[in-house]
Amino acid sequence: MAHLIQKIALLTIPILAAVTVHELAHGYVAYRLGDPTAKESGRLTLNPFKHIDPLGALVFFLTQAIGWARPVPVDPRYFRHPRQDMVWVSLAGPMANLLLAATLALALRAWPFIYQPLSWLSPALASAVLKPLLLMAYLAVQINIGLAIFNLLPVPPLDGSKILYGLLPPELARRYAYLEPVGFVIILALVFTGVIDKIILPPIIWLSGLFLGNLVQI
């Protein structure tokens, strides 16, 4: 029980931050492209409770790599170029997660210069406060990378499907759209058969190594 409580405590802030940044990025780019829907629905906010989906958050806690939030409402009718602009809106979420992961990884690389002197001066402070912060930042890097890679899969309703839809020729895009009603079933099948792990784990591991370097083994 104590281990479970500790895990929840360490994962809660990284998961909330990843989900919030992801959805806010979608809504902000849509707003900049002319769609006020996200702003009018109160989704252009850093308040994580406006974005969190309980089931998606639970999946995050179980996997630390995949999950989902409440989708930000987007109305492509406001866009000048609906298909192309939806590509940018869809890319915004994963790119924001990768940017956050890179920023945290840079902070982690500088962390030893702060952590080691303070741990020498005050071992109790380092153990009680600084080490949990270090672990949360490390987990946040992995969670943000995992969320980005997972959402780039070209399976509806993930962001990758909207990106692919906007890049395909119109006739192929219309045929591809027929997958949307069964997209969630496809995702579940990929998860339960283990196929999704084989697809997303290699890029997650590679990017984690690229961002964190020798800190991967923390």
**Residue-level length of the chain:** 218
DSSP 71: P
Residues labelled as active-site residues: 23
Residue 157 CB partners (closer than 8 Å, separation 6+): 71, 180, 183, 184
DSSP 130: I
Residue 182 CB partners (closer than 8 Å, separation 6+): none
Query: Peptide bond preceding 36: is omega within 30 degrees of 0, i.e. cis?
Result: no
**End-to-end Cα spacing for the chain:** 23
Closest by CA position to 53, among listed 19, 24, 29: 19
Q: How far is CA 109 from CA 3, 23, 81, 120, 135, in A?
A: 27, 27, 41, 19, 13
How far apart are the C-alpha atoms of 74 and 23, rounded to whole Å? 11
